[in-house]
Amino acid sequence: MAKENNLLMWVVIGLLAFMVFQNNQAPVTPPGDNGDGGDDGGLTIITGSTALTVVAADKLQPGTAVTPTTQIAIDGSAYAAGVATASPGQVLSVLLNKTTAAPVYHRVYLPALTVPSSPTMIIKASFYANSTATIKLFNEDSDVMGDQGTTRNYTVAGAGISANMKVEFQGADKQSTNDMRCILETNETTAVQEIVLSGLGAVKVTGGKPSFYTSSFPTNVGTGNPQQWIYDIEPVEGNVLKQGSIQITPKTSQSLASTYFKFACYTKEHFIDSVTGQVEYAIEDSAGTQQSLALYRFEGFIN
């Protein structure tokens, strides 16, 4: 009898403990339900928000802060200014801009940033100040050529002989270009077979002439039938000297004498395309509007 009473007592104690445990559990919200009793369409609701903070600095001047304006697209939505918070798990694409007041910086694009489950998300960015780089060309005597054919031109010895010019791209201290698209152009094609740019990380581009580009030449050299050759080149970062060469090849039995040529390089920039609404990296948008922050150019003459 005593054993049966003991067994009954333990059963009662176990039941009481289970009831206490159940009463102390928080209610479970099923997936797709925000707990308000309504139908949430099977979506998992993420509550709370993360404050977005941009911390930007000059890449080539440590300790120099940059204060950009911000445009953010959340989960592929349209870019918008003034976005201060986002929900954990959302994916951000961020375009940072500091081009309207000196010092001017190249825009920074930060794609595919996932918002963490924390009170604050720090968005770090490094900016490059727009460069005041310069271009020099050297003639057959290794003399610096004068811009726009003013002095010290290139002289060819006769028909069928190419012009080979050294190019120097001098960067500026604590500044940088972006990648560049360069246009090499002559005022006529009767004598010129081709212009080749070598060095500077040059890559020839087919059909890359920008829509905004218009040929123009001094009245004393004439326009003739202009022709262009297009190349992409690497950035020039900081106070460095990059070297390359330009070779102008004549057509068979033709002389390059009296040939006027141009070398014009436009910086590629990040921007929100006016047609697609997406961030692009180019010198112009889909509507043909120039987006470059800088143009580096030289015009020369062959005697």
Residues 171 and 256 in one domain: yes
Residues 289 and 142 in one domain: yes
User: DSSP letter string over 218-252?
Assistant: -TTT---S-EEEEEEE---BSS-EEEEEEEEEEPT
Residue 61 lies in a domain: yes
Phi, psi of 40 (to 5 degrees): -105, 20
> Taking 80 as the threshold, does the pLDDT of residue 33 lie above it?
no
- How many other C-beta atoms can be found within 10 angstroms of the C-beta atom of residue 173? 12
Residues 202 and 295 in one domain: yes
The alpha-helical segments, DSSP class H, found in the chain are 2-23
> Taking 80 as the threshold, does the pLDDT of residue 126 lie above it?
yes
Q: Residue 235 — pLDDT band, cuts 50, 70, 90?
A: very high
What total of structural domains would you count in the chain?
Answer: 2
Query: pLDDT tens across 260-294, in order?
Result: 999 999 999 999 999 999 999 999 999 999 999 99
Cα 140 to Cα 246, 247, 298: the distances in Å are 12, 12, 17
C-alpha 86/C-alpha 74 separation (Å) is 8
CATH of the domain at 272: 2.70.50
Residues 179 and 219 in one domain: yes
Phi, psi of 133 (to 5 degrees): -60, 160
Q: Span 112-123, mean pLDDT?
A: 96
> Taking 90 as the threshold, does the pLDDT of residue 65 lie above it?
yes
Length of the chain: 303
Residues 99 and 221 in one domain: no
Residues 158 and 285 in one domain: yes
Tell me which of 48 and 63 has the higher pLDDT.
Answer: 63
User: Cβ distance 129 to 60 under 8 Å?
Assistant: yes
Report residue 248 as tokens. Answer: 């102008």
Could you tell me the residue range of the domain that residue 106 belongs to? 50-127
Tell me which of 303 and 248 has the higher pLDDT.
Answer: 248
Residues 290 and 198 in one domain: yes
Q: What is the pLDDT of residue 222?
A: 67
User: DSSP letter string over 62-106?
Assistant: TT-EE--EEEEEETT---EE---EE-TT-EEEEEEE--SSSSPB-
> Taking 60 as the threshold, does the pLDDT of residue 133 lie above it?
yes
Residues 230 and 144 in one domain: yes
Residues 119 and 173 in one domain: no
Q: What is the pLDDT of residue 96?
A: 98
On average, the pLDDT of the chain sits at 86
Q: Span 160-177, mean pLDDT?
A: 97
Query: pLDDT tens across 176-204, in order?
Result: 999 999 999 998 778 999 999 999 999 99
